[in-house]
Amino acid sequence: MWDSFKSELEGEDRFDAAGYVKALCANSKIQIRETSFLNMRFLEGWKSLVEELIKSIRVYPIEIESIDDRLNILNVHFFTLKTTREVNVWRAIHKAQMRSLTTCANCGATKQPTRNAQQNAFFCEDCKENAHKINKTGTWLDRY
Ligand SMILES: [Zn+2]
């Protein structure tokens, strides 16, 4: 059962977080190593907050190591290249993190903030109700 669950999640319509981040970072000072694309793991509902984050830090020469949704919050790791106003990048990431707590990871709707690491913590009420139909649990387990 686990295998079919997994293969369904890996279907072709699955949101390509790495491709999305790669496109956002094109023509910016942000670099991403080919090997880091595996570390881009988040659901479609957070597209706009990731877009806003990248746009606000695109002038800084940094290398993004990962953007993921572990712990039910947006996590971003980066290295600074050359001299960077690193504090500005941290501020932008913190802002995006706070937004990720109130943004449904599935549909992007505003939801109640929760630190609940249990099932469905990522999703708004509507998506929680439909979670069994869309085959997602609303936790980081959806990634595996
Ligand atoms: Zn939702």
pLDDT by residue (tens digit) across 61-110?
A: 999 999 999 888 999 999 988 776 888 899 999 999 999 989 999 999 99
- Residue 89: Cβ-neighbour burial (10 angstroms; 0-12, 13-18, 19+): buried
Q: How far is the CA of 120 from the centre of ligand 1 (A)?
A: 10
Q: Taking ligand 1, which is a single-atom ion, which protein residues have CB atoms under 5 Å away?
A: 104, 106-107, 109, 124, 127
When the pLDDT of each residue in the chain is averaged and rounded to a whole number, the result is: 83
pLDDT of residue 75: 94
User: How many structural domains comprise the chain?
Assistant: 1
pLDDT of residue 6: 43
pLDDT by residue (tens digit) across 51-63?
A: 999 999 999 999 9
* The pair of three-digit structure tokens given for residue 86, joined into one six-digit string: 């690193």
Residue range(s) defining the domain that contains residue 54: 2-143
pLDDT at 17 over 80: yes
Contact indicator for 59, 28 with CB cutoff of 8 Å: yes
**Signed CA dihedral, 1, 71, 34, 51: sign only:** positive
Q: How far is the CA of 138 from the centre of ligand 1 (A)?
A: 10
The number of angstroms, rounded, from the C-alpha of 21 to the middle of its chain's C-alpha atoms is 9
Contact indicator for 96, 53 with CB cutoff of 8 Å: yes
